[in-house]
Amino acid sequence: MPNFIMYEDRNVKAKGLNKENVISETKLKEYFYDSDYDNLSLIKTIEPFELHVPIPTLFYPGCGVDILFPLHYLNALFPRTKEVHFVFMDTENTLGIIKTILDDVGISFSENKTFINFYWNNTLVNLEFKTANVFKNIDSLPQFHIYFERAFRIMRDTFPGYEEIIIKKLHNDGILISDSGFQDKKLQYKEVPKSLSSYNEMVLATK
């Protein structure tokens, strides 16, 4: 039987930036289904990307409460990246739960309204949370260097031309990471274990 994950917003207070954070592997594990946790090791088998940008922007629409998957991909695929700007967008304001998850696993953060900053294994993450509908804002989205998508297929399948717009917004040489769709586009695809996606469609590609 799958394990049960409990999400809550405990209104945790910012304790400030701390480069010496120690991530609790026990707590971390509690935030993953066992099969997903086991799959994390597969990410490490993928050859890392070179991104020639000092502070890349990663865009994650429909993020929900998921902060931990993009962080694991970041460390495994972009080991040279020392600072990153995360733009998370969801129709629900889940930032309180994301802060609680970080606090639980041992990551302290600083905050300013809808921005939080923290270190994840020596990478400085500046996270900007936007409570918004991605489809209503798609034309005004700024460009990004990394696109991250997970468990968003049902929602974005309702929006015609979504993939083309996302690819247009991705910088040249930018990286697309998605657990569904984006098949047969003009992208350079990397060989990846398909089981990283629950739809068996994992895509990692460079524009």
Ligand X SMILES: C[S@@+](CC[C@H](N)C(=O)[O-])C[C@H]1O[C@@H](n2cnc3c(N)ncnc32)[C@H](O)[C@@H]1O
Q: Is position 61 an interface residue for ligand X (rule: CB under 6 A)?
A: yes
Which is closer to ligand X, CB of 81 or CB of 197?
A: 197
Q: Is position 157 an interface residue for ligand X (rule: CB under 6 A)?
A: no
Distance, in Å, from the CA atom of 88 to the CA atom of 65, rounded to the nearest integer, reads 10
How near is the Cβ of 122 to ligand X at its closest, in Å?
25
Binding mask 81-110 for ligand X (x = CB under 6 A): --------xxxx------------------
| Strands 109-112, 115-120: pairing kind | antiparallel
Distance, in Å, from the CA atom of 193 to the CA atom of 47, rounded to the nearest integer, reads 12
Which one of 25-33, 80-88, 110-118, 146-154 is the stretch in contact with ligand X (CB under 6 A)?
146-154
Region class of 59: left (phi > 0), else alpha (psi between -120 and 50), else beta: beta
How near is the Cβ of 140 to ligand X at its closest, in Å?
14
How near is the Cβ of 27 to ligand X at its closest, in Å?
18
Q: Is position 70 an interface residue for ligand X (rule: CB under 6 A)?
A: no
Which is closer to ligand X, CB of 78 or CB of 152?
A: 152
**Site residues (vs ligand X, CB under 6 A):** 61-64, 66, 89-92, 133-135, 150-152, 155
